[in-house]
Structure 1
Amino acid sequence: MTAPGHRPLLADYLALRGRVDALCRRIRERYGRFIACRRGCHDCCTELSVFPVEAAALADAFARMPPGPAREAVAAAGPGGCPLLVDGACALYEARPVICRTQGLPLLLDDAPSEAGAAPAVAFCPRNFRGVTDLAGDAVISLRRLNTALAAVNLRFAARCRPGRPFPDRIGIRSALRFRCAGGAGP
């Protein structure tokens, strides 16, 4: 199956991504003046691994990317850093994975070790939320809930994409650009 053929299998993921975007938009509307993350700010842009469903979405977006310098830069990216980072910005911004969409925003680290009675840990980019002493609960993204939803969407995708043949748990972004349902990551 070619990358553009992934599109019908991505409906659940695209719906989840839409809900994540809506949540992130609400947080940005409420706390925008305290959020430093902008185009050109890319300290968090490292080579990450993603679920197979996200790899398929990236491969689909890369396959539809018009020829030109940005596509060539992504295809020729060397090791280190995110291969999608071109001139300080994400070349596939609209298709970026969930982790990139939520990066820098308040994340509830449900699995963070805490002492008895300690409040759950919330993390965000140290450049963000300076001077904010109290975050509203609906402005904090539960990492456990988000990852559970993403894992469920991924399982459904995998069952339809390659029935009976397992995928790797995670796929590096560089390999994700070549993702195919028939053969997993790779050409």
Structure 2
Amino acid sequence: MNNDIEIVDLLRERIPSFECKPGCHDCCGPVTTSSAEMARLPVKTDAEHDAALAEWNCVHLGPNGCEVYEQRPLICRLFGTTPRMPCPEDRAPDKMIDTKTEQQIHHYIANTRQVLV
């Protein structure tokens, strides 16, 4: 198995989850992600990417919210789980992410090739 995929899976397991406000997509702007994470997402056309960027949205944001929620990138999962990236709707998990895991995620992002989702 690809080492990056194993790292991503391990980090995902350590990110606490919480219930988003239905219909909210305040944190769903354009983001970057690693190639390993991108490989799990559906391929979108250049026109779809351009249209999403023109609206300052993620290409995977649909009329009912995130269309790839279960496979969303680490950066998307981090929103709302740390005081440094708070949810604009004041939603949060019962226990915020631990500092060590957050640092590991930022280290992974900083040290892998990132592509625009």
TM-score by length of 1: 0.46
Structure 1 residue 152, shift from structure 2 partner: 4.6
List aligned pairs for 1:136-155, cutoff 5 A.
139-142=95-98, 145-150=100-105, 151-152=107-108
Q: Which runs of 5+ in 1 are unaligned?
A: 1-7, 29-34, 64-73, 110-122, 130-134, 159-166, 174-187
Q: 1:94 aligns with which of 47, 70, 76?
A: 70
RMSD: 3.0
The aligned length equals 107
CA distances 1:108-143 after superposition (whole Å, capped 9, x unpaired): 43xxxxxxxxxxxxx6224225xxxxx9xx72225x
The CA distance in 1 between the partners of 2:6 and 2:65, in whole Å, is 26
Structure 1 residues 154, 62: closer, same or farther in 2, change over 3 A?
farther
Which position in structure 2 is the counterpart of 1:171? 115
List aligned pairs for 1:103-122, cutoff 5 A.
103-105=79-81, 107-109=82-84
Structure 1 residues 81, 19: closer, same or farther in 2, change over 3 A?
same
Q: Which runs of 5+ in 2 are unaligned?
A: none
The CA distance in 2 between the partners of 1:48 and 1:153, in whole Å, is 11
Which position in structure 2 is the counterpart of 1:178? none
Identical residues among aligned pairs (%): 25
Structure possessing the higher relative contact order (Cα contacts under 8 Å, 6 or more residues apart): 2
Larger Rg: 1
Report runs of 4+ in structure 1 exceeding 4 Å deviation: 152-155
Q: What letter corresponds to residue 87 of structure 1 in structure 2?
A: P
TM-score by length of 2: 0.67
